[in-house]
Amino acid sequence: MLRSSRIFPGAIVACLFAALLIWTGAWNPVADALDDAFGVEVETSGDAAAVLAELDTITVKGKAPMTGYDREGVFGSAWIDIDRNGCDQRNDVLDRDLSATTYKPDTRDCVVLTGTLADPYTGATIPFQRGQDTSTAVQIDHIYPLGMAWRQGAQQWTQEQRIAFANDFDNLVAVDGPANSQKGDSGPAAWLPSNKGYRCEYVIDFVNVTAKYDLSLPQPDVDAARRILANC
């Protein structure tokens, strides 16, 4: 004789409560799992002196080979809805960084159609219009580049950790498309924003992401970051 299973009222309430938290964004099980995967959460700082001190704790290491690197193969598809808010990370960043945004109808203000970017990298004002021939005017940059991350430690990460890194808001910024292409996978030794007024913030964000993910840096990038931070 089969034994009937019982579902306790408390378990039903717990499941409904968890579903509500996920739907409202109050609890993000993906983010929690990724926090566990990377261990202790790093407190980021916008203070140049604090970031200079943080720079001294980062491992200095030369560039590893790019062997096995494939953007989507190792860092996942671009872009995904990692925080499960109904919008992929590209649209979330556009919504955060652009002003005067308009949205595609019936997407719950998710898909950004138009907007204006005050580009931090060049200082220019750039109109954004979604379309096959126009979207590339504004691109989403990884402040600490994916290719560089692969060389400096990400080869040893799990796929889950690499996806977290590739979609982390702290490492994403909407910028001028040509400037992003020019930067490529460079660190601050080889590339800095032409907008000198943004260089301090850029290097602070770069070092914060480096520390957050326990990535290493080649000595020239450490030296370049230190020079910028010393004058902030």
- Each residue's pLDDT tens digit, 84-129: 999 999 999 999 999 999 999 999 999 999 999 999 999 999 999 9
For residue 32, tell me if it sits in a domain.
no
pTM higher than 0.85:
no
The β-bridge partners of 138 are: 176
Helical H segments across 25-145, by residue range: 29-38, 48-55, 71-75, 89-97
Inter-residue contact 217 to 151 (CB < 8 Å): no
Which amino acid, one-letter code, is at 110? C
Within-domain flag for 27: no
* 73 is a domain residue: yes
51 domain residue, yes or no: yes
Contact 92, 80 (CB under 8 A): no
Of all residues in the chain, what percent carry a pLDDT higher than 70? 81
Query: Is residue 34 a part of any domain in this protein?
Result: no
For residue 18, tell me if it sits in a domain: no
Tokens of 19: 């579903």
Domains in the chain: how many in total? 1
Instruction: Residue 60: give the domain boundaries.
Output: 42-230
pLDDT at residue number 31: 52
Structure tokens given for 221: 């990038």
Per the listing, tokens 């808010």 go with 85
In degrees to the nearest 10, what's the CA dihedral of 205, 150, 184, 221? 50
Asked if 115 and 102 count as a contact pair (C-beta separation under 8 A), the reply is: yes
Beta carbons of 225 and 207 less than 8 angstroms apart: yes
| Mean pLDDT confidence for 59-64 | 97
- Report if residue 201 sits inside a domain: yes
Write down the mean pLDDT value for the chain.
Answer: 87
Residue 210 domain-assigned (yes or no) = yes
- Is 113 strand, coil or helix? strand
- Are 185 and 147 in contact by the 8 Å Cβ rule? The answer is yes
Digit-coded pLDDT (tens) for 16-47: 444 444 444 444 434 554 455 455 455 667 89
Backbone angles phi, psi at 202, to 5 degrees: -60, -45
